[in-house]
Amino acid sequence: MQITYDADASYIMLTGTVGKGSAAHQMHSIATPGNVGEVILDFDNALRLIGIEILNAGDVLPLEVLEAAQRSV
């Protein structure tokens, strides 16, 4: 499992490397409590969960998770 973080979002890769556009299916618009952020789930062709994107991650995730995440450009 790998966590990346940039100014707008965090991405949790549950398996290997998940490249842009490699998710076969996505589940959008899961709002966090208070509508502070949004969660998007990525699934592969076998309908297995492969990644989780968190928008507005700086407002949603605990500081220790963000500090441990790999910064992306």
Convert the chain into a string of H (helix), E (strand) and C (coil). CEEEECCCEEEEECCCCCCCCCCCEEEEEEECHHHCCEEEEEECCCCCEEEEEEECHHHHCCHHHHHHCEECC
- Give per-residue pLDDT as tens, 15-38: 877 667 678 888 887 999 999 999
Please check whether residue 70 lies inside any domain of the structure.
Answer: no
Q: What is the pLDDT of residue 19?
A: 67
Domain count of the fold of the chain: 1
Please check whether residue 23 lies inside any domain of the structure.
Answer: yes
Rounded average pLDDT over 41-59: 91
- Per the confidence metrics, is the pTM higher than 0.85? no
Please check whether residue 64 lies inside any domain of the structure.
Answer: no
